[in-house]
């Protein structure tokens, strides 16, 4: 999958209750059975129903993918898949990333370079490392239906206790970062 897979805080609690680890959730994408007939394949938000046998029992998860966004969300099924809407509250923890060397893109911009220096971020590789180490999506500040392209608010917790946030978009298979701000 060429997107960043996230789990909302609400779904994390459900997955924990059912003893579904990150690696097990990711395995649904690798060897689960996609039910195309009962998935939502039309519109700006695609939602795929994937089942997998775990300990002799079929488990169903949904994976939502907003058109043009770099995030996909693992979701515990609830209600109608056709009526499903993207999460709009809380945070989402990033658990899986595109299998490419570099998926972060930074424009040549003096303001952004100054912000990176202020936060001790050396380059795109360092930013990607931080994202993979402990990146989150702030669903409440993301605009997954924005035109011309969806915006995801990335949150990077820092060792000193504060966080860095950035508005991001998906640009030619890369996460494009805009301004970096301390929160």
pLDDT digits (tens, 9 = 90+) for 65-124: 999 999 999 999 999 999 999 999 999 999 999 988 999 998 888 999 999 999 999 999
The 8 Å CB, 24+ separation contacts for 33-42 are 38/81, 39/81, 40/81, 40/82, 40/84
Same domain membership, residue 87 and residue 33: yes
pTM of the model: 0.92
Tokens of 120: 């001790």
Distance in angstroms (rounded) separating the CA atoms of residues 17 and 19: 6
Q: Are residues 142 and 59 in the same domain?
A: no
Domain match, 133 and 157 both? yes
End residue of a domain, out of 95, 120, 146: 95
Identify the three-state secondary structure at position 12. helix
Q: Side-chain half-sphere of 127: how many Cα atoms within 13 Å?
A: 28
Q: In terms of residue numbers, what domain contains 138?
A: 100-182
Same domain flag for 66 and 125: no
Count of domains forming the chain = 2
What would the pLDDT profile of 20-70 be if each residue is shown by its tens digit? 999 999 999 999 999 999 999 999 999 999 999 999 999 999 999 999 999
Secondary structure in 3-state letters for 83-110: HCCCCCCCEEEEEECCCCCCCEEECCCH
Asked if 126 and 87 sit in the same domain, the reply is no
DSSP calls for 19-64: T--HHHHHHHHHHPEE-GGGSB-SSSEEEEEEEEEETTEEEEEEEE
Where is the domain boundary, 76, 95, 114? 95
Domain end, chosen from 74, 95, 116, is at 95
Examine the domain organization and report whether 58 and 77 are in the same domain: yes
Mean residue pLDDT across the chain: 93
Instruction: Please provide the distance, in angstroms rounded to a whole number, between the alpha carbons at the two ends of the chain.
Output: 31
133 in the same domain as 55: no
Residues 125, 55, single domain; the answer is: no
Q: Are residues 124 and 76 in the same domain?
A: no
Question: 131: closest CA among 111, 107, 109, 102?
Answer: 102
Alpha carbon distance 10, 147 (integer Å): 27
**Both 10 and 76 in a single domain?**
yes
Q: In this structure, are 9 and 91 located in the same domain?
A: yes
Does 90 share its domain with 104?
Answer: no
């Amino acid at each position: 999958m060429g997107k960043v897979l996230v789990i909302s805080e609400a779904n994390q609690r459900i997955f924990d209750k059912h003893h579904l680890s990150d690696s097990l959730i990711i395995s649904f994408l690798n060897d689960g059975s996609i039910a195309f007939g009962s998935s939502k394949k039309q519109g700006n938000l695609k939602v795929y129903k994937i089942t997998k046998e775990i300990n002799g029992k079929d488990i169903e998860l949904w994976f939502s993918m907003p058109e043009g966004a770099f995030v996909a969300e693992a979701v515990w099924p609830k209600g109608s898949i056709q009526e499903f809407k993207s999460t709009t509250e809380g945070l989402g923890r990033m658990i899986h990333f595109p299998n490419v060397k570099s998926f972060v893109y930074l424009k040549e911009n003096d303001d952004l370079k100054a912000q990176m220096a202020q936060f001790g971020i050396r380059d795109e590789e360092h930013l990607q490392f931080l994202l993979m180490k402990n990146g989150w999506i702030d669903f409440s500040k993301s605009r997954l239906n924005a035109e011309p392209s969806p915006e995801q608010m990335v949150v990077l917790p820092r060792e000193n206790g504060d966080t860095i946030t950035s508005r991001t978009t998906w640009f030619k298979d890369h996460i494009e970062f805009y301004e970096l701000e301390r929160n």
